[in-house]
Amino acid sequence: MGKSILLSILFTSLALNANAGDYDAAKAISVDEYDTLEAFDHKRVDAHAPIGVMGDHLHHKSEAMLSYRYMAMDMRPNYVGSDEVTPRSQLSRPGTGPYQIMPLDMQTEMHMIGLMYAPSDEVTLAFMLPIIDKTMDHLTAMGTQFTTATNGIGDFKFGGLVKLYEQENVKGHLNLMMSAPTGSIEETGFVAPAGRVIRLPYPMQLGSGTWDFRPGVTFLGQKGDFSWGSQLLGTVRLGENTEDYALGNDITGTIWGALRLSDSLSTSLRLSGTSWGDIDGRDLRIMGPVPTADPAIQGGERIDLFYGVNYLFQNGALKGHRLAVEAGKPLYQDLDGPRLGMDWMMTVGWQKSW
């Protein structure tokens, strides 16, 4: 069931984008009908997507925007397929089963600094630098617990958003982003059962280690106090990293609708479906009787539902500043596993353009 919903989200965001591309055909409809459509308003509060969506809008020539996002997520419990499993049910004594250590939960916090600049009306350049903080708690077969933590900069993203078309109240663009391997993939930590400092498993590393291409297509529309959008975005790993592996490719489709409650305030609902692959290759320094060290069980798919609020200051010293928050929970997840599933995600952001 979950798989068919995931496929329909991916398909719908693709179909909406493809349809939007055919918008020229709308010129065939009567001028009267056309006149009822107002031009897309780039300044209204819901002209920006829910804050959890990246690369959602273009800027006009010579405009720049600075943004800051704080993102937090909590992962728990463990899943095998779409079933929750207890850590204890997966643990066994050495020699009698694969896992003597199981993750209990994981917290990720990210500070994301973004810069956008439009050299023309057709192209907006975008740059993003994440600073990441990760913590994971574990249970051992002996019944003891221990925690590992990593922090530092993640992978620097850069590229362009290229206008496809803009027709009355509907517009679309291509996302052509790259991710540079600036995040560390050599993070270590003291692992109590090993009794020493070792390289930490894949989910605790800060970057992919590879150059990644992140292509996508985004579509936005407005009508009256309602607005909507969709985005299809993928990650393609270009080669292998220095430790002889590549994280799985991924694809995310998302669709949202927003309601403008006033000039300052809008609220949104968003559905997102993601599918990502297993790790290709393996880091020989990442070992251990723990599922996070097995490259072949890291893939999965998930459907998330988000609720968001956008606020745009209309007066005073903060006029033109945007604040937004979005929080979400999975509706469904199917993980190769045993692997920690998502519990909740949240993004708070600030944006200002000049």
* Residue 116 binds Cu ion (CB under 5 A): yes
Q: Is 35 helix (H, G, I), strand (E, B) or coil?
A: helix
Q: Which helix (H) or strand (E) holds 13?
A: helix 2-21
Q: Tokens 């080669």 — which residue?
A: 239
Site string for Cu ion, 155-194 (x = CB under 5 A): ----------------------------------------
Residue closer to Cu ion (CB basis): 65 or 112: 65
Number of residue whose CB is nearest Cu ion: 65
Between 50 and 341, CB nearer to Cu ion: 50
Pick 53 or 106: Cβ nearer Cu ion: 53
User: Per rule CB under 5 A, is residue 49 in the interface with Cu ion?
Assistant: no
Interaction pattern, residues 249-278, with Cu ion; x per rule: CB under 5 A: ------------------------------
Closer residue to Cu ion (CB): 116 or 324: 116
SS3 171: strand
CB of 9 to Cu ion, least distance (A): 25
Residue 14 or 125: the one with the smaller Cβ distance to Cu ion is 125
SS3 of residue 66 by DSSP: strand
Interaction pattern, residues 52-91, with Cu ion; x per rule: CB under 5 A: -------------x--------------------------
Q: Cβ contacts of residue 87 below 8 Å, gap of 6+?
A: 77, 78, 102, 103, 104, 139
Closest by CA to 252, choosing from 228, 236, 269, is 236
The residue among 59 and 199 lying less far from Cu ion, judged by its C-beta, is 59
Question: Toward Cu ion, which CB reaches closer, 76 or 173?
Answer: 173
Least separation in angstroms between residue 116's CB and Cu ion is: 4
CA–CA distance, 131 with 152 (Å, rounded to integer): 6
Locate 313 and state its tokens: 């200051």
Residue 321 C-beta: closest distance to Cu ion, Å: 13
Q: What's the closest the beta carbon of residue 190 comes to Cu ion, in angstroms? A: 42
Q: CB-wise, 57 or 302, nearer to Cu ion?
A: 57
Query: Could you tell me the smallest distance in angstroms from the CB atom of residue 155 to Cu ion?
Result: 20
Question: Binders of Cu ion: how many residues, by CB under 5 A?
Answer: 2
CB of 310 to Cu ion, least distance (A): 13
Q: For residues 44 and 42, what is the distance between their CA atoms, to the nearest angstrom?
A: 6
**C-beta closer to Cu ion: residue 126 or 139:** 126
CB of 121 to Cu ion, least distance (A): 14
- Residue 169 buriedness (CB in 10 A; 0-12 / 13-18 / 19+): middle
DSSP secondary structure code for residue 50 in this structure: P
Q: Closest distance between Cu ion and the C-beta of residue 159, in Å?
A: 14
**Exposure pattern of 234-255 as b/e (b: 16+ CB <10 Å)?**
bbebeeebebebbbbbbbbbbb
Report, in Å, the least distance between residue 18 CB and Cu ion.
25
Listed ranges 37-45, 108-116, 202-210, 303-311: which one lies at the site for Cu ion (CB under 5 A) = 108-116
Tell me how crowded residue 6 is: count the other CB atoms within 10 A of its CB. Answer: 23
Name the segment binding Cu ion (CB under 5 A); options: 15-23, 112-120, 260-268, 324-332.
112-120
Beta-sheet strands, E only, within the chain: 64-81, 83-85, 101-117, 123-140, 145-153, 156-167, 170-180, 188-191, 196-199, 211-223, 226-238, 245-246, 250-260, 265-276, 280-281, 300-312, 322-353
Q: Give the interface with Cu ion as residue ranges (CB under 5 A).
A: 65, 116
